[in-house]
A = this chain, B = another copy of it.
């Protein structure tokens, strides 16, 4: 079976590890969010792609969910000693190497999709990992603070401000001119099933869906989503702050409606959300906490079973 899964960072990566474990013979293509990407110290950082790559490749800091196992932070300390900003973004030494390789390849003219493939020859994630687009396309957040109303890069809001200042709106700068990366539409066209993992519905999945052509291509497909909200709270992260900003309630019901019945065919929710319903969508309830790899695999299995029901 050909499966396409969209993915943000930690939640998506953990779900994908479960999916790969439960469906080892299926061909999985991952379309990763690049709206979180940022250029720091002249180096191109792709947090979500790297989280997927490291998680599936066995290099992730398991406890933290992002960054590298056995990480050190000498370069960051030295940059701080030079007084170079920003100092709020936690790049480790091992991680720096990834960004150095990526940046060097970008400078040499390679598109991000080819670079990601090259990085994956080391990590062997067991899935085909594609960026949603090769075009620069970054999420910015409009906030109001003591410095007035202004737009900051998503990472500044997310990491430096810990989403403590309310987001007024999000702007995916560059998306109008962005094209899906090579292979993205082809993979969707070939897919027997598309999965929306429990990633952030606004700044991860929502971002991917904004790339012209991707959402349209998905409409023709069987799409199963896993709710990132359990009983009114995000599984992890600060999805509630993002949902609130776009006027959407933090609930499994509201996220399903945000995605829309035209897109989603099956929707997996937690038992406490079993009342969720939307015409044209088959809803199934089961525990959704990815407490360990087995739990993630069981959730992925449930998503595949739901897809099976839809086609049966």
Contact = CB atoms under 8 A, between A and B. Distances in A.
Given A72-B72, A72-B74, A74-B72, A79 B97 contact: yes
B104 A78 contact: no
Nearest to A108: B42
A103 to B, nearest CB: 6
A119 interface: yes
A123 to B, nearest CB: 10
Q: How large is the interface on A (under 10, 10 to 19, 20 to 34, 35 or more residues)?
A: 20 to 34
A82 B94 CA distance: 11
Given A82-B122, A122-B83, A42 B104 contact: yes
Nearest to A97: B78
Chain multiplicity (copies) = 2
A43 interface: yes
Interface string A86-113: 0000000110111011011001000000
A78 B94 contact: yes
A192 to B, nearest CB: 33
A107 B107 CA distance: 11
A83 to B, nearest CB: 7
Contacts of A83: 122
Interface string A108-149: 000000000001001000000000000000000000000000
Contacts of A79: 97, 100-101
Nearest to A71: B74
Interface in A47-83: 72, 74-75, 77-79, 81-83
Q: Taking each of A41, A81, A93, A100, which has the highest tally of chain B beta carbons within 10 Å of its own beta carbon?
A: A100
15 contacts: A41-B100, A41-B101, A42-B103, A42-B104, A42-B107, A74-B97, A75-B94, A77-B97, A78-B93, A78-B94, A78-B96, A78-B98, A79-B100, A82-B101, A82-B122
Query: 10 tightest A-B contacts by CB?
Result: A78-B97, A42-B104, A74-B93, A75-B97, A78-B94, A79-B97, A41-B100, A82-B101, A72-B74, A42-B107
